[in-house]
C-alpha cells in the first residue's frame, strides 16, 4: 500500500537519450507501463517507471524500481527470475526480491498475475536489450563520464 500511495522513481526522464525505454501493456486489466533504465558499466545507475494501472501494477512497479536500482545486471535478472517464480507459485529465494515479497498473495489470483509481473518483465526486457546491443558491439555510446547508454528507438530505426 505504501508503494501505491508513494510510488518510487515515478516519472520519466525529461531527456530520454541515454536511457533504455520499454513500454508494456497488459490489455486484460488496462495497465500501461513504461520503464526507463540507465546503466553505468554493469550496474543499474537509474531506474524509472511511469504509467497508469491498477494498484497491484503500480505498487509492483514501485517495488521493482526501488529494489533493482543500483544492482548489477546479473543480480537484477536473478531477482526478476525469483519474483516470477514467486508469482507462479514456484520455489523462490525470498532474499532476492526484497519488499516485493508482499505481492506473494497475487500468485493465488490468476487474473492479477500479469498486473504484478508487468513491471518486472519490462525491466527484464530492457536489460536483455542492453545486453544484446552490447554483444553486437554496435550501439553502445560511452559518454565522457563513463556512462554506457543504449536507446531502443535507435534500434527500431535501424532494423530494416
Q: Applying CB under 5 A, which residues contact Zn ion?
A: 29, 31, 54, 57, 115
Residue 118, burial from CB neighbour count under 10 angstroms (0-12, 13-18, 19+): buried
Least separation, in Å, of the C-beta of 117 and Zn ion? Answer: 10
Please give the DSSP secondary-structure letter assigned to residue 91: -
Kindly tell me which of 47 and 115 has the beta carbon lying closer to Zn ion. Answer: 115
Kindly tell me which of 23 and 134 has the beta carbon lying closer to Zn ion. Answer: 23
10 and 49 in contact (C-beta within 8 Å)? yes
31 and 57 in contact (C-beta within 8 Å)? yes
Least separation, in Å, of the C-beta of 90 and Zn ion? Answer: 21
Least separation, in Å, of the C-beta of 32 and Zn ion? Answer: 10
Kindly tell me which of 52 and 72 has the beta carbon lying closer to Zn ion. Answer: 52
Amino acid at each position: 500500500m505504501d508503494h501505491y500511495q508513494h510510488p518510487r522513481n515515478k516519472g520519466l526522464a525529461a531527456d530520454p537519450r541515454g536511457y533504455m525505454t520499454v513500454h508494456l501493456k497488459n490489455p486484460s486489466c488496462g495497465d500501461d507501463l513504461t520503464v526507463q533504465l540507465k546503466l553505468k558499466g554493469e550496474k543499474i545507475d537509474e531506474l524509472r517507471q511511469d504509467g497508469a494501472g491498477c494498484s497491484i501494477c503500480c505498487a509492483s512497479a514501485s517495488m521493482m524500481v526501488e529494489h533493482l536500482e543500483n544492482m548489477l545486471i546479473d543480480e537484477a535478472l536473478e531477482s526478476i527470475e525469483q519474483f516470477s517464480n514467486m508469482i507462479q507459485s514456484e520455489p523462490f529465494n525470498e532474499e532476492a526480491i526484497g519488499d516485493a515479497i508482499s505481492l506473494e498473495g497475487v500468485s493465488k489470483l490468476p487474473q492479477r498475475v500479469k498486473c504484478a509481473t508487468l513491471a518486472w518483465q519490462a525491466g527484464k526486457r530492457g536489460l536483455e536489450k542492453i545486453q544484446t546491443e552490447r554483444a553486437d558491439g554496435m550501439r553502445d555510446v560511452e559518454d565522457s563520464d563513463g556512462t554506457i547508454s543504449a536507446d531502443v528507438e535507435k534500434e527500431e530505426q535501424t532494423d530494416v
